[in-house]
Amino acid sequence: MNFITALLVLLLVAVSCKKAPMKPSFGSSNSESEPESDDLQEVEDETYPNDDEDEETSETDGADKTTQPDKGSKEIVTPNTFELSLAKLEAAPKKGETALFKLSIANKGSKSGKTKITPFITAKDFEDYSEIRLPSLEVSLSGSEKKDVEFKIEPFFKEEGGNREYALNKGNYSLKFKVEGDYSGEWPSNDFAVQGSNAVFTAVYWSQPYLDKQGYRGSIQDYLRETFTRKSQTSNGANLFASYDKGFDQMMGVRTMFKIYDNWRPDFSRWDGVQILEQVEEEGKKRLGLKQKFQGSSGEDMTHNANHGYDMSIGLTEHGFGGLAWVGGNTQASGVFDGDTSVGRSQMVMIHETGHNYGAPHCDPIQGFVMCSGEKHDHYTNGDLWFVWHDVSIEKMVKAKRMLQNQNQKAAAFSLAPASVSSRPVKHTLIHD
Ligand SMILES: [Zn+2]
């Protein structure tokens, strides 16, 4: 566990409970969790084929079937007839964007032929991210032909012929190319860099009962997007609110991007609080093919170099335990309260835990804000359903601030000039124990 010692685990408590509305209890899972062992169904191991699957087989099936040279009319691409160069990047890739590459290939020979070029990517700043195979390119060239061939790397990608999952995070990379066919060999590596951005690569493990319990009919992608762009406001502690129609992402100046992994079934028979976070981290090992469980980051680092380029991880479950997150870390688990299964409440749980991950503790004794009894705020309860943050929470959310400093960007929430100011008269709800 790489977390700094100051990290705490905080439990979001069901403050909507009528019995003790303003008495949240922290650190204890007893009040809200209902360990359920009946969820222990078979693990779907068959969805994770072995890593040692025969690569040669997978490499030669598919497209090759149509490109096998006809023995009767042999087309030979002789050595030294090709000349390959990575002419240029279509655009300097930024974190979160699809990286486009163009290979300029020239056939210096007079005969036509075909070849297969396989790119391999190596990240210089990350572990277990070396010579990761990407999909091959089939190229046909006639004699003396020159051709530009494009290929792309998506922000999230899976290694070809294997099970490891990667994200194209900020940093330095190299590409090399294996060439097969009558011509075989390797071209020298080509270096490139991915520029930083405000994108946050987030792996999400979930299962359908999470949405079913809330009666949500859309997709999990829609749900996550809604959650992170759900309209939010900040209070400076006086009668002034800044409003962010695009929610948490706009407020923090980030763009949260999700890679979804279905059928996460945490084991609640072993529930003891922190254990659920460790299960999310273990799921990262399994789903992303990490060498070890998903490693924690501190508030100083958005990205741990052992997480295949991923920044954050979220586990979503229908269990009614509330939520749990590392403060200043990168992992959370969020559930659906049994006593309030509404979409708004469950989305608030997730965004509250995200606040923890970005560094915010609970804002006690102040109440009525996202990090403390957020569903009690007038702007939430009056039907507008704003998520309202207090600036004592925003101040602590240093992860986004540090990340954005690297990009010369500023989170709107840290700015003295809010994006817009609500004309609504503010009724400041402060409730003390
Ligand atoms: Zn909390």
252-288: pLDDT as tens digits: 999 999 999 999 999 988 767 789 999 999 999 999 9
Instruction: Tell how far the Cα of 335 is from the centroid of ligand 1, in angstroms.
Output: 13
Q: What is the pLDDT of residues 292-307, one digit of tens each?
A: 999 998 767 789 999 9
Q: How many CB atoms lie within 10 A of CB 345?
A: 18
If one compares 22 and 236, the residue with the highest pLDDT of the two is: 236
Instruction: Tell how far the Cα of 61 is from the centroid of ligand 1, in angstroms.
Output: 50
Q: What is the pLDDT of residues 317-342, one digit of tens each?
A: 999 989 999 988 999 999 999 999 99
Helices (H) and strands (E) in the chain, counts: 9, 19
Contact between 118 and 177 (Cβ < 8 Å):
yes
Task: Report the percent of the chain where pLDDT is more than 70.
Answer: 70
Q: What is the pLDDT of residues 386-398, one digit of tens each?
A: 999 998 898 888 7
DSSP state of 244: E
Instruction: Tell how far the Cα of 22 is from the centroid of ligand 1, in angstroms.
Output: 14
Q: With bands split at pLDDT 50, 70 and 90, how would you rate the model's confidence at 17?
A: very low
For range 218-225, the mean pLDDT: 98
Query: At 18, is the secondary structure helix, strand, or coil?
Result: coil
pLDDT value, residue 376: 87
Contact between 378 and 202 (Cβ < 8 Å):
no
DSSP state of 238: S
| pLDDT of 25 higher than 70 | no
Distance between CA atoms of 375 and 241, rounded to whole angstroms? 17
Instruction: Tell how far the Cα of 206 is from the centroid of ligand 1, in angstroms.
Output: 20
Contact between 333 and 324 (Cβ < 8 Å):
yes
Token pair of 278 as six digits: 């460790």
How many residues belong to the chain? 433
pTM of the shown model? 0.78
Instruction: Tell how far the Cα of 329 is from the centroid of ligand 1, in angstroms.
Output: 13
**What pairs with residue 388 in β-bridges?**
233
pLDDT value, residue 183: 63
Q: What is the pLDDT of residues 120-160, one digit of tens each?
A: 999 999 999 999 999 999 988 888 888 888 889 999 999 99
Per-residue burial over 235-259, b = 16 or more CB atoms within 10 Å of its CB, e = otherwise: beeeeebbbbeebbbbbbbbbbbbb
For 392, the enclosing helix (H) or strand (E) is helix 391-396
Instruction: Tell how far the Cα of 360 is from the centroid of ligand 1, in angstroms.
Output: 9
Instruction: Tell how far the Cα of 362 is from the centroid of ligand 1, in angstroms.
Output: 6
Instruction: Tell how far the Cα of 355 is from the centroid of ligand 1, in angstroms.
Output: 8
Instruction: Tell how far the Cα of 382 is from the centroid of ligand 1, in angstroms.
Output: 23
Return phi, psi of residue 351, to 5°.
Answer: -75, -30
Contact between 113 and 141 (Cβ < 8 Å):
yes
Q: With bands split at pLDDT 50, 70 and 90, how would you rate the model's confidence at 182?
A: low
Instruction: Tell how far the Cα of 14 is from the centroid of ligand 1, in angstroms.
Output: 10
The stretches of 53-104 forming alpha helices (DSSP H) are 55-60
Q: Which amino acid is located at 3 in the chain? A: F
Of 152, 54, 55, residue with least CA distance to 103: 152
**The sheet that has 99-107: what strands, in order across it?**
82-89, 99-107, 146-153
pLDDT value, residue 85: 54
Per-residue burial over 156-169, b = 16 or more CB atoms within 10 Å of its CB, e = otherwise: bbbbbbbbbbbbbb
Distance between CA atoms of 412 and 253, rounded to whole angstroms? 6
User: What average pLDDT does the structure give for the chain?
Assistant: 76
Instruction: Tell how far the Cα of 387 is from the centroid of ligand 1, in angstroms.
Output: 15
Instruction: Tell how far the Cα of 239 is from the centroid of ligand 1, in angstroms.
Output: 25
Q: Which amino acid is located at 97 in the chain? A: E
